[in-house]
Amino acid sequence: MNEHRNHAVVAVIGNPVSNNGKGAKVDKRVMDLLVSRSEVHGFDVTDLTGGTLEESLGNLENAKGTYDYLIVVGGDGMVSLGVNAVADSGVPLGIVGVGSGNDFARGLELPVNRIETAVEGIVGAIVCGSHMDIDMGHVTSLGGAIPDGAASNDAVSNGIASNGIASNGIVPNGESESTDRRFAGMLSCGIDASINDRANHSNLPGGSFRYFAAVLMELMHMKRYGYHVVITDEHGDVEERDIVTPLLTVANSRHIGGGIELSPYSSFEDGLLDMVWMERVPTLPEIAKALRHAYDGKVLACDFLAWRRVRSVSITCAEEGDEPPVLMADGESVGMLPVHVEAAGRTLRVLVPPAVVDWHRRERGEEQLLHAIERDGRDPVTGSFLR
């Protein structure tokens, strides 16, 4: 807490225009709960939500240094806003996960669409001083720029997050800038980005159903995108190769698309990212098998999928293959290749109740991850199948 203030200050950013304006009721409920708890526990609450994206971001920038905690209310788009606002600052981020998606909150085992439980957990974490310092991904341009008109997920379409947010969470003068973004979940570079974009523009109900339908549609029209990658692995060894594949993802978290475990070996605390891609176009029976394992953490047992732990990876277009689509980081459009992606270890502090911290130590430690990797028959260093 700032030594010049008598009470800790909790700043809140909501998304009042989400869900056709119903988000305003959610934001009010969160504020009411926080204010009532603040009277008991002795902290102050300030609402920095604006009527538009730029107003909210402006409020956040103008208030920098005046708040001790930032709470975001919404889905992964709002988390993206919060992550880029507090990255490297030491200001803890609280997440009230509501709406569709919420893959980052789900990966942290935080409540989703349970407002009272989420707020109680955040307040408990503030009072107890309980948090997790977790990794993020950091994506920057290698001479690339964000294309004009690129849209985002729940945040842009609902007026709260947009393309071009720099690492401090601000859009400079509202103009397109070179990519410089942190992501908490995944950087989607291939069919996964196309699926995300299709799901974002779908009129179907329900986040998970909308995403699953988008998966089926994109699988019917798969392209083979061409990537040239320069990988630095966990030991500092460098590998350079071309990959022609429909799917390429660089993951910090496990989930995508409302609960699909595309990167089940990901850890928030290992200082590494996980690169997942298709080695070849799968057959229909192989696709069916992968879909069966999409939610049980065993999808990487499918031998058409490749996996590698990396400290960083530079990605450019290869001569062979189709041109990759617009990249998506946590559901936000972040521009085209070429980019450099690296793990930013323990640079995000998240408010997490003590019981959840204990759960992560018990269920998501290195021993448990190695067991899952061995169960699926892979080498933990090279990612190759042992059988």
pLDDT at 55: 85
Are 163 and 156 spatial neighbours (Cβ–Cβ below 8 Å)? Answer: yes
Q: Given this model, what pLDDT does residue 143 score?
A: 66
What pLDDT sits at residue 2? 54
| Amino acid 21: pLDDT | 56
How many secondary structure helices (H) and strands (E) does the chain include?
A: 11, 17
9-135 carries CATH number 3.40.50.1820: no
pLDDT reported for residue 159: 40
End-to-end Cα distance, the chain? 54
**How confident is the model at residue 298, as a pLDDT?**
97
Radius of gyration of the chain (CA): 20
Interatomic CA distance for residues 259 and 185, integer angstroms:
12
Listed in sequence order, the DSSP H helices in 284-365 are 284-292, 354-363
Query: What are the respective helix, strand and coil percentages of the chain, to the nearest 5?
Result: 30, 30, 40
Which CATH entry fits the domain spanning 137-345+366-375: 3.40.50.11890, 2.60.200.40, 3.40.50.300, 3.40.50.1260? 2.60.200.40
Distances (CA, A) of 105 to 69, 95, 253, 364: 17, 7, 10, 15
**pLDDT the model gives residue 331:** 84
Structure token pair of residue 345: 């270890």
Look at residue 219 in the predicted model and tell me its pLDDT: 80
According to the model, what pLDDT value does residue 154 have?
42
CA–CA separation, 13 and 278 (whole Å): 38
Residues with Cβ within 8 Å of 357's Cβ and at least 6 positions away in sequence, in order, are: 130, 131, 132
Indicate the pTM of the whole model: 0.86
Cα 285 to Cα 291: distance, rounded to the nearest angstrom = 10
Tokens 């530079």 -> residue: 314
Give tens-digit pLDDT for 148-181. 333 344 443 344 443 333 433 333 333 445 899 9
pLDDT for the residue numbered 170: 36
**Paired strand residues for 333:** 328
User: Which portions of the chain are predicted below pLDDT 50?
Assistant: 144-176
Domain assignments of the chain as residue spans, ordered by start: 9-135, 137-345+366-375
- Among 332, 326, 319, residue whose Cα is nearest residue 169: 332
DSSP 174: G
User: Mutual orientation of helices 53-62 and 76-86 as an angle, nearest 10°?
Assistant: 30
Please tell me the total number of residues recorded for the chain in this structure.
387
Compute the distance between CA of residue 244 and CA of residue 44 in angstroms, rounded to an integer. 53
Distances (CA, A) of 263 to 82, 293, 300, 349, 367: 23, 12, 8, 22, 17
